[in-house]
Amino acid sequence: MRLPGMPALLLLCIPLAAPAGTLEAVRERGFLRCGIVESSPGFSVINDQGERAGFDIDHCKTLAAAIFGEFKIEYVPVTPHTAFTLLQSGGVDVFPDGATWSFTRDISVGLDYAGVYLFAGQTFLVRKDSGIRRVADMDGATICIAQGTTLEQNMADYFGARGMHYQALTFADIDKGLQAYHADRCDAFTNEGASTAGRIANWPDRDDHMIMEEVISKEPFGPMVRQDDPRWRDLVLWSFNAVIAAEELGVNQANVEEQRRTSQVAEVQRMLGVNGAFGEKLGLSKDWAYNIIRLVGNYEDQWRRSFTPLGLKRGLNATWQNGGLHSALPFR
């Protein structure tokens, strides 16, 4: 049985989350508390070796590598119901799961975003024999959807603006919603495309279904942090930026050792801590970014580990040189 009331109670009981810096608190504790959603193929799974893996997990690891130079992490499983509350009350230091960066979330929830790590979009999963080819074909359809995201609102906005009707079937849990779609309870299932692709990859009748190309919303996903600690937000933002910058600069997990020794590019030298004191200014060690790339890899390394096996293309998530939206802030 779900206990949605617990996090609210937590908020009552923890009188004041230490207003001192999150980084100091993490250091003192000796590990990072990272909020994750369990069982979301591609983003957060337990792999064959019994270890946590996925795009979100890599993000936790990126931060731990930057702070400790090793994976000192406590993964705190959250649900969409509990995530924001746990973060607000100090139960987790960061929540890197797919939470769309939207105005309301940013301004009125007491939380802040530290960059965009995935440009996702809301798509529809339909049966190939349903005759649905475009979103416009879905006037009057029953659509299964999961709570805990901006998806419900997107869909109402999109259909409302076009004068189209639909019947929403709102599940508390993504997998139950997919199961209901699979049992033909609804004509379509809508969710962020990458996560749907991951979840249906092992359906025996996968070929009878398709994820429509059409995307009805932008869902920029970013790691969320508390609003009252700008230094911590800087750290989270620049740790992730190092992952993108490394790809732009041609530094990856395989060659980072060599690059640190031999690269003559000034920006690579500054990023990897050969020159300058960028790490120290963030309150970290000199080789913070080197540790990130050495232990977790650049964006392409992470993508290839988590999303390539699911057949996902980089698309909008390519670097700007390759026609995507990711563009690193300069290390200067």
Partner 1 sequence: MNMSRRLLIYQLLLVAAVAALACLLFSVTQENLARLGVDSNFDFLFRRAGFEIGQSLIPFSADDSILRAFVVALLNTLVLAMAAIVCASMLGLALGLARLSGNWLLSRMALTYVEIFRNVPALLQIFFWYFVVLRTLPRSAHSTVLWDALVLNNRGLFLPGPADNAGAFVMAAAMLLAIGIAWAVGHWASLRRYQTGRSFPVLSVTLSILGGVPLLAAWGTGMQWEFPQAGRFGYGGGIVLLPEFLALVCGLSMYNATYISEIVRSSFSALPRGQLEAAESLGLSRQVAVRLVLLPQAMRIMIPPLTTVYLNLFKSTSLAAAIAYPEVTSVFVGTVNNLVGQPVTIMALTLVIYAFVSLCIALCLNWYQRRLALRGT
Query: Which residues of the shown chain bind partner 1 in the complex (CB under 8 A)?
Result: 1-2, 4-5, 7-8, 11-12, 15-16, 80-81, 84-85, 88-89, 104-105, 108-110, 139-142, 144, 147-149, 152-153, 155-157, 160, 166-173, 176-177, 179-180, 183-185, 187, 226-228
- Shortest approach of partner 1 to residue 64 CB, angstroms? 25
Provide the sign of the torsion angle of the four alpha carbons 92, 96, 99, 102, taken in this order.
positive
User: How far is Cα 274 from Cα 254, in angstroms, rounded to an integer?
Assistant: 18
- Shortest approach of partner 1 to residue 23 CB, angstroms? 19
- Shortest approach of partner 1 to residue 185 CB, angstroms? 5
- Shortest approach of partner 1 to residue 109 CB, angstroms? 4
Of residues 100 and 317, the one with the C-beta less far from partner 1:
100
In the block, residue with structure tokens 């994976």: 71
Q: Which amino acid is at 219?
A: E
In the block, residue with structure tokens 């810096």: 21
Please, are residues 111 and 137 in contact by the beta-carbon 8 Å criterion?
no
In the block, residue with structure tokens 């299964």: 144
- Shortest approach of partner 1 to residue 14 CB, angstroms? 8
Of residues 176 and 304, the one with the C-beta less far from partner 1:
176
The secondary structure of residue 225, as a DSSP letter, is: E
- Shortest approach of partner 1 to residue 198 CB, angstroms? 21
- Shortest approach of partner 1 to residue 49 CB, angstroms? 31
- Shortest approach of partner 1 to residue 107 CB, angstroms? 8
What's the full length of the chain, in residues? 332
Of residues 175 and 280, the one with the C-beta less far from partner 1:
175
Tokens of 61: 């690891």
Of residues 165 and 206, the one with the C-beta less far from partner 1:
165
Of residues 7 and 273, the one with the C-beta less far from partner 1:
7
User: How far is Cα 180 from Cα 189, in angstroms, rounded to an integer?
Assistant: 9
Of residues 34 and 138, the one with the C-beta less far from partner 1:
138
Contacts of 102 (CB under 8 A, 6+ apart): 150
Of residues 48 and 183, the one with the C-beta less far from partner 1:
183
Tokens of 236: 């989270």
Of residues 18 and 254, the one with the C-beta less far from partner 1:
18
The secondary structure of residue 129, as a DSSP letter, is: G
User: How far is Cα 55 from Cα 303, in angstroms, rounded to an integer?
Assistant: 7
Closest CA to 222 of 39, 326, 100: 100
Coil, helix or strand for 188? strand
Q: Report how far apart the first and last C-alpha atoms of the chain are (Å, whole number).
A: 52
- Shortest approach of partner 1 to residue 144 CB, angstroms? 7
User: How far is Cα 116 from Cα 139, in angstroms, rounded to an integer?
Assistant: 33
In the block, residue with structure tokens 């690269």: 263
Of residues 10 and 316, the one with the C-beta less far from partner 1:
10
Tokens of 230: 């700008």
